[in-house]
Amino acid sequence: MRKVQFLSVLVLLIGLIGYGIYTRLGIAFRFRYKHDDSYQR
């Protein structure tokens, strides 16, 4: 029971970190794309 709880917490933590990295990368990519677009124009 304790192992299952630890595993669920670990999965939740990894998912949260992954989501944060994904959102940060997405924002950076969008900002870079918008910056490049404005630079070209």
Residues 18 and 25: their CA atoms lie apart, in Å, by 10
pLDDT digits over 1-41, tens only?
789 999 999 999 999 999 999 999 988 888 777 766 655 55
pTM higher than the cut 0.75 = no
Question: How high is the pLDDT of residue 18?
Answer: 95
Residues 34 and 41: their CA atoms lie apart, in Å, by 11
For 36, how many CA atoms within 13 A lie in the half-sphere containing its CB?
6
Question: How high is the pLDDT of residue 3?
Answer: 92
